Structure 1
Amino acid sequence: MTFLVIAKDGTDPDAPARRQRARQRHLDEIRPAVDAGRVRLGGALLDGAGTMIGSALLLEAPSLEAARELLENDVYFKEGVWQQLEIYPFRRAVGLEL
């Protein structure tokens, strides 16, 4: 099952620095899930000034619980970068084959 995730960063003054500190580890640790096809797409959400304020992902998981577990084991969640997770079942209608 495919899930669309909107993971919002904190809005406190240290939020951008917290993201930067965890960024390389996040990218390194998520790579196996990308290679296995569990993370189909991922990237940063930006505000009007181009500052990263969250993440958007498309996940493949057998259930909502499995998708949430994958996210909660990510360094961004564990280190407090992601403060809010919105997870929605997703059905592609047009665009890229996933």
Structure 2
Amino acid sequence: MQFVILCKDKPDGLDLRMATRQVHLDYLKDVGGANLLGAGPFLDDQDRPTGSMLIVEFPSEAEARSFAQNDPYAKAGLFVDVEIRRWRWGVKPPAA
């Protein structure tokens, strides 16, 4: 089952985001593995990150939630809001 994880950074969170970025990327690579279908930041009008969107595939929402909660960004307190929504890739899915 696919999920989209939508994360909104807390105000003035850019320094925390940048300080935690490498361990976050390592987590996505190492722990996300085949479960991570795509990810990237939301940007403001000056191209500064303001949040994140991840597309993941897990057997259950509980597993997707656990993955989101264990993200180093989440553990560092970067996010003011995290939403997890069940999702289906409808158009132009990545090649299998």
TM-score by length of 2: 0.91
The answer to whether the 8 A contact 2:51-2:79 is kept is yes
- What RMSD in Å do the two structures reach over aligned CA positions? 1.3
Tell which deviates more after alignment, 24-33 or 66-75. Answer: 24-33
Aligned partner of 2:16 in structure 1 is 18
Q: Which runs of 4+ in 1 moved over 4 A?
A: none
CA distance in 1, matches of 2:71, 2:3: 16
Deviations 1:29-88 (A, max 9, x none): 221234x31111001110111110000110111111110100101100000112211111
TM-score by length of 1: 0.89
Deviation of the 1:97 alpha carbon: 2.8
Matched pairs, number: 95
* 1:1-98 superposed matches below 5 A: 1-11=1-11, 13=12, 15-34=13-32, 36-97=33-94
Identical columns (%): 32
Deviation of the 1:4 alpha carbon: 1.0
CA distance in 1, matches of 2:93, 2:86: 17
- SS, match of residue 6 in structure 1: strand
The answer to whether the 8 A contact 1:77-1:83 is kept is no
| Residue segments in structure 1 that go unaligned for 5+ positions in a row | none
Deviation of the 1:6 alpha carbon: 0.9
| Residue segments in structure 2 that go unaligned for 5+ positions in a row | none
